[in-house]
Structures are given as C-alpha cells and as structure tokens.
A and B are shown apart, each in its own frame.
Chain A
C-alpha cells in the first residue's frame, strides 16, 4: 500500500512540475513538447530500479519505445480530429486513447514483446 502512495505522490509531483513548465512557455507548439515529457517514466523508473534493479527498468524502457511511437501517432490523430473533424479537446483526446492503445500493443507485439 505504502508503495502505491509513494508512486502516487512522486508521479503527481513530477507530472505537475512538467505541466507547469509547459504552461509558462510560449509559443504553444513549443509548450506542447512538455505534454509528451517522460514525467511518468521518470517517476516510475526510479522506483522500479530501487525495487527490482536496473535490468527490470531496462526491460520497461525497451517497451516504452513502442509506447512513444504510439504517442506520436496519437498526437497526430488528436490534431486532425481537432482541426478537420472540429471535435472538442476532451472527446478528441479520450477517443484517441484507443488509437494509442492499439498502436502501442501492436508495435510491442511486432517487436516480439514478452509479458
């Protein structure tokens, strides 16, 4: 239980710090870089190394590469839904999570991912 409380607090703090950095930067497209900052990764990998060691974290970051490519696809889809389909931000970003999930799992499976 304590482990998940620590994860929650560390993750919340790191993500908030990157989000605030993105808030103060202009132009908006540059600030958007911080929307894809590895904030969850920084919080998670530190705990993973402490608990399971460096090779566990290496396995996680190998899979993270598929997730990152899926994130690029996700961002392009969100951009198109907002500009071409004129959707509002909340439905566009939530619906596109399905695209991220399919792309991430697909790329992971293509790369011979092992659970």
Chain B
C-alpha cells in the first residue's frame, strides 16, 4: 500500500521571492502582536492570539494565485480551480486546528513540570492528532463516495 502523502520540492520554485518575504513579515508581525496584546491585556487574553490565523490569509491567497497562474498558462481561466485549491487548504487547516487544540492542552498540562517536555510533547500531540484527523477524514470520504473515487482519473482532482 503506497502512502497518499508525497513531497514535491519543485513546488518551492513556483513561489516568487516576495511571497516568502510577505509570509516572513506576517509571521513576525503576528508574533509581535501577540506579545503586545499579552503585555497590555494580560497573558490570558493574549493567549487567544497564539491561534490567530494571520498566516492562513497569505497562504490561501498564494495557493489560489499559483493555481490560477498554472491554469492560465494552459489557456484556461483558472479562477474556480484556484478557489477549490484554497478551499482544500482551508479544509486541511480545520483538521490542523484540532491538532493545535491538542498542542495547547498538552503544553498547558506539562509546562510547569518540564519546559522541554512541554515543547516536545505538545509538538508530537499536534502532529499526531492532525495527521490522524486527516487520515480519518480521508477514510470517511472514500467510504461515503466509493463510486466517485473509483471513477475515471479525469474526474478526480490531482490536488485533492
């Protein structure tokens, strides 16, 4: 049985240099904002912003732009395909949010006993819950729509 997950390093060449700068700046700004809110409004309120989806806006927009660019190169409009690609990213982020919940819970439980253990345990919890949720969703979808998944390859999105 082959893994449905693969790594495509060539995807990095699709990005423009300024897109990486935008994400670096947004990531830095979100971290500064969280620090500022925590120092002004307290650690409890500031903690909410550790889950701020600031970076997701940039990522989804870039995914949509890349997909539109690819389709336009092939002479197609590509807007709908771009929206679908961004929506798939959002669906993945919803599952990743469950992993983030697990990260926060484990970190909260462990940090006062061991700082290194909190970082290691919480990161592991994030990864395992996110990946397990993704596989569970995939299995549910294929169980619900077996006829679609066994249909002709042309009817299936290569990016799903």
Contact = CB atoms under 8 A, between A and B. Distances in A.
Interface stretch (B18-26, B69-77, B144-152): B18-26
Given A4-B35, A56-B43, A93-B61, A67 B49 contact: yes
Contacts of A87: 83
Interface in A30-58: 30-49, 52, 54-58
B15 A23 contact: yes
Given A24-B9, A44-B35, A7 B56 contact: no
Contact of A27 (B60, B83, B88, B100): B88
Nearest to B138: A29
Given A61-B108, A68-B101, A104 B48 contact: yes
B55 A89 contact: no
A93 B97 CA distance: 15
Interface of B: 4-9, 11-12, 14-15, 20, 23-32, 34-36, 38, 41-57, 59-61, 63-64, 79-80, 82-101, 103-105, 107-108, 111-112, 115, 118-119, 122-123, 126, 130-131, 134, 137, 159-160
Given A41-B104, A56-B43, A13 B24 contact: yes
18 contacts: A4-B36, A12-B24, A12-B25, A15-B31, A24-B11, A26-B159, A35-B55, A36-B93, A38-B104, A40-B52, A61-B47, A63-B43, A63-B45, A67-B49, A71-B93, A79-B90, A82-B87, A113-B44
A62 B108 CA distance: 6
Among A42, A68, A70: residue with most chain B CB under 10 A: A68
Contacts, number: 335
Contact of A16 (B20, B57, B95): B20
Contacts of B137: 29
B50 A40 contact: yes
Given A40-B34, A71-B53, A92-B86, 6 more contacts: A32-B95, A36-B100, A38-B123, A38-B126, A61-B122, A68-B98
